[in-house]
Amino acid sequence: MGRGEKYKYTLLSVLGTGLLGTGLYLLRDQLADQIKSASYKAKDAYDTASGRVRRASRAITGEGRSGLGSTAALLVGVGVTLGILFAPASGEQIRRNIADTFGERIRSRVSGESHGTGPTPAERL
């Protein structure tokens, strides 16, 4: 191998090694960016899933709710019970009164009568 050929071989070797090193360096940067991107996406998916699980757990256990709804339901139940126990009329009479009252309202609305609640549908036209 002559001196010119050796020089050419060395020059190509150095250039090839430099180009190969540069390509690997660029690939390494791209790969690192893709790994970061995948890592961020995985973290976001985990955060979303854990938030949903946390909210479902709170809904099931009732954590974070005030006792206002439960208290209101309890008071309504006690009121209905006391109303039934101490009602001045019998249960049958109370049911008849309720049916009569609602029956009258329904008949008056169907027939077009007004009880001071506003104009009838025919009057609105």
pLDDT (tens digit, 9 = 90+) per residue, 26-61?
A: 888 888 888 888 888 888 888 998 888 888 887 777
Q: By the 8 A CB rule, do 38 and 46 touch?
A: no
Q: Which two tokens mark 60?
A: 């099931």
Q: Which two tokens mark 69?
A: 């709804």
- Tell me the one-letter amino acid at 23: G
Q: What is the pLDDT of residues 63-77, one digit of tens each?
A: 666 666 677 778 888
pLDDT at 20 over 70: yes
